Amino acid sequence: MENMPVPELSIILPLFNEAETVHVLIGRVDALVSTLAFSVEVVFVNDGSRDDTEVTLLAAIAGKPGMRLVSLSRNFGHQMAVSCGMAEARGSAVAVLDADLQDPPELISEMHEKWRLGFDVVIARRRSRKGESWFKLFTAKLFYRGLARMTDVPIELDAGDFYLLDRQVVEVLNRCPEHSRFLRGLVAWAGFRRAVVLYDREPRRFGKSNYTLGKMWSLAKDALFGFS
Ligand code: UDP
Ligand code: MG
């Protein structure tokens, strides 16, 4: 691995109990990569899934040198899974998106173009959000607008953990010691030249949200304590 040339782009995909999505996901990512004229590595992070995510992934990526899997020893949560992916990624640019296909992988191509133009942080912002409960939409709107009033850090509204970062930004995040991480906040805090691209968030293809009320609360708490 050390001797391999540095890829231009790393794509990080965190997965917790996403066995049903694996094949469709890999199909979409493969199709995307085949349209890109530069080298790409895909880093799947299995966040202690309790279903067949790991074996399904291992079988699906066998013989695909550009794809690899990092398996965490237990379920650490989405923010930690993405952070581990960032520590593993070697690309000059690093894209992060959800593995459940709510974030369309195809958008990475447009995000990468912005990076080529000189932007270090390219954030995908939701123009619309399909298939979410009114409860989730309402609490998210309220929470992020409340948080914005409490902090000087310019956290992008209506954006999740779907972004493409220059290597310099990833290095800054990798050096942040926080255990309870609110990555969107750290990304905003890090600074750099920032651009936004808009997208329509899809409903989940399979399964259900793994952000339980408890995990949402924990994320909200880390955001509040970290950034107010
Ligand atoms: N995820 C994870 N660890 C967790 C919970 C979720 O890695 O403990 C992954 C999940 O597989 C998905 C992404 O994080 O790829 C977003 O999770 P989810 O779709 O459940 O959240 P939502 O879209 O409802 O906010
Ligand atoms: Mg989701």
Q: What integer pLDDT is reported at residue 3 of this predicted model?
A: 66
Q: Which of 106, 90, 98, 95 is nearest to 6 (CA)?
A: 90
pLDDT, block means (10 residues), the chain with 228 residues: 82 97 96 96 97 96 94 95 97 97 96 97 89 83 84 84 97 87 88 94 84 83 81
Contact 15 CB / ligand 1 (< 6 Å)? yes
Under 8 Å between Cβ of 125 and 86: no
| Atom in ligand 1 nearest the alpha carbon of residue 209 | 20
47 Cβ inside 6 Å of ligand 1: yes
Cβ of 210 closer than 6 Å to ligand 1, yes or no, is: yes
**Pocket perturbation via mutation, ligand 1, pick of 52, 144, 211, 222 by most ligand atoms within 8 A of CB:** 211
Contact 207, 24 (CB under 8 A): no
> Ligand 2 center to residue 129 CA distance, Å?
11
Q: Which residues contact 131 (CB under 8 A, 6 or more apart)?
A: 202, 203, 204
- Please name the residue whose Cα sits nearest to atom 24 of ligand 1: 209
Give 135 Cα–ligand 1 centroid separation in angstroms.
17
Q: What is the pTM assigned to this prediction?
A: 0.90
pLDDT at 1: 55
Give the pLDDT confidence score for residue 64 in this predicted structure.
Answer: 93
15 touches 26 (CB < 8 A): no
Rounded to the nearest 5 degrees, what angle is found at the Cα of 60, between the Cα atoms of 59 and 65?
A: 100
Residue 102 Cα to ligand 1 middle (Å): 10
On whether the CB atoms of residues 101 and 25 are closer than 8 A, the answer is: yes
